[in-house]
Amino acid sequence: MSGFIGWHGNNRQSSSPSTPTPSVTPGYFGRGASKDQDPVIVTVKSDPTSVPQSSRPASKSTRSRAASAARPSIASVAASARLPIPDAMHSLVSTAEIVVIGVLDMTGSMSTWPEEILKRLPRLHGDACEYFGTQSVEILFIAHGDSRTDSHAIQVARFGSGPELEPMLASFTSCGGGGQGSESQEIVATYLLQQVNTASARQVYTFFITDEAACPEVDEQLVKRDLGIGVNPNLRKTQAVFDLLKRRMNIYTVLCDTQYYSAGIRDEIRSFWQTTVGVEHVLPLNDARRVTDVMIGVFAKTTGQMGRFTGDLQARQGGTVHGKQNIATVMHSISMVGGSVHAPQVTGPGTRPLLPAGDPSHPSK
């Protein structure tokens, strides 16, 4: 899967809604990009204003199917964009109203799941805009493996929206490894805590998509090597990192039933995530093709739009051979999700320091 599937730079600079923002990822001129590579420039128009319900297209499902049919394959996007495999040696800032972060396990135990997931993730932005009623939505994708054994163990794209998300997804690569029962989600969580600023957002949703648990402790040497930062001595326990992170964002785990592990080990992995993020935030799933639907279902359920969501599912799946089963699979996965979420109470401009004085996530000097 190597080469099949972010970016090696920072987020887009802010601009006025009417002005396209040319963005060149700095990594093209640093390590990770070959000398003969040309920079890839992506022009994006960003409109942070809300979209009234009455102005939305009546038939989203028809439009989604048309867009999907016209979309080139992920592999062809990767070839045309010529993007380097991203690393995690950069900090990020989003000034969007809504932020969605997708963290994807790319190890061997996930089998063909990443390929199926990556095919469908590009539609996430459009659906998020509709369910949250605003175009001010940015998405960050992160791929990971096991920092103890894998190359390219932490791959962090940049915040983006719309068509620019596809080349980001296309540049992720398989991490290899797998089979230990735990991966490096705790290092990704440390990255999100210390290197990502979403202070401007009114809602942040983060989804860990995996079939394995995280390691119980944060390895300071691996964090230094893969992220280039230090670790607060008080945040060396994975649970402590997630507890603090949950104060800033709504965290869910899409727990993939890949059938790689025995039932007993799967129970232990599920128990880990239920303890770490909460029972209502663990989304069990046995179909790789339904991951994006489940993520959108969380948006719907936590914003009180389940009627709309079930209608969308029926429109897209109703006429298919396995439509009823697909709908049932999604509804079962999100059945434990609570009726509302509480946005982290973060104040100040989006460009505030990532780790202001007094922040408990600040590493010791």
Instruction: Categorize the per-residue pLDDT at 180 as very low, low, confident or very high, splitting at 50, 70 and 90.
Output: confident
Q: Nearest-CA neighbor of 209 among 331, 103, 285, 290?
A: 103
Q: In this predicted model, what pLDDT tens digit does every residue of 37-93 receive, in sequence order?
A: 332 323 333 333 333 333 333 344 433 433 444 444 444 444 455 578 999 999 999
Question: What sign results for the dihedral spanned by CA atoms 212, 255, 152, 156?
Answer: negative
Q: What is the pLDDT of residue 151?
A: 87
Phi, psi of 11 (to 5 degrees): -70, 170
Name the percent of the chain lying above pLDDT 90. 64
Instruction: Categorize the per-residue pLDDT at 361 as very low, low, confident or very high, splitting at 50, 70 and 90.
Output: low
271 vs 363, residue with greater confidence: 271
- For tokens 């001129």, name the residue: 29
Instruction: Categorize the per-residue pLDDT at 150 as very low, low, confident or very high, splitting at 50, 70 and 90.
Output: confident
Looking at the whole model, is its pTM more than 0.85?
no
- Is the pLDDT assigned to residue 236 strictly greater than 90? yes
Phi, psi of 319 (to 5 degrees): -95, 5
What average pLDDT does this structure show over 264-290?
A: 97
Distance CA 127, CA 302 (A): 14
* 8 Å CB contact between 45 and 164: no
Phi, psi of 292 (to 5 degrees): -65, -40
Q: Nearest-CA neighbor of 11 among 249, 198, 172?
A: 198
Q: What is the pLDDT of residue 256?
A: 97
Distance CA 116, CA 289 (A): 6
**Can you name the residues that pair with 41 across neighbouring β-strands?**
24
Q: Is 98 helix (H, G, I), strand (E, B) or coil?
A: strand
Q: What is the pLDDT of residue 100?
A: 98
Q: In this predicted model, what pLDDT tens digit does every residue of 317-348 receive, in sequence order?
A: 888 889 999 999 999 999 999 844 443 333 33
Q: Crossing angle, helix 113-120 and helix 291-302, to 10 degrees?
A: 50
What average pLDDT does this structure show over 302-320?
A: 93
- Domains parsed from the chain with CATH numbers: 64-333 (3.40.50.410)
Range with the lowest mean pLDDT among 191-205, 276-290, 326-340? 326-340
Q: What is the pLDDT of residue 359?
A: 55
* 8 Å CB contact between 39 and 29: yes
Phi, psi of 209 (to 5 degrees): -110, 110
- Is the pLDDT assigned to residue 195 strictly greater than 90? yes
Q: Crossing angle, helix 124-132 and helix 60-70, to 10 degrees?
A: 160
Q: Crossing angle, helix 306-317 and helix 60-70, to 10 degrees?
A: 50
Q: Is 149 helix (H, G, I), strand (E, B) or coil?
A: coil
CA angle (308 as vertex; 139, 332 as ends), nearest 5: 80
- Is the pLDDT assigned to residue 277 strictly greater than 50? yes
Neighbours of 245 (CB within 10 A): 22
Q: What is the pLDDT of residue 320?
A: 85
Burial class (CB in 10 A: 0-12, 13-18, 19+), 332: middle
Report the mean per-residue pLDDT for the chain: 78
Q: Is 325 helix (H, G, I), strand (E, B) or coil?
A: helix
362 vs 110, residue with greater confidence: 110
Q: Nearest-CA neighbor of 194 among 89, 312, 322?
A: 89
- Is the pLDDT assigned to residue 288 strictly greater than 90? yes
Q: What is the pLDDT of residue 318?
A: 81
* 8 Å CB contact between 74 and 169: yes
Q: 82-109 burial by CB neighbour count: b if 16+ within 10 A, else e? A: bbbbbbbbbbbbbbbbbbbbbbbbbbbb
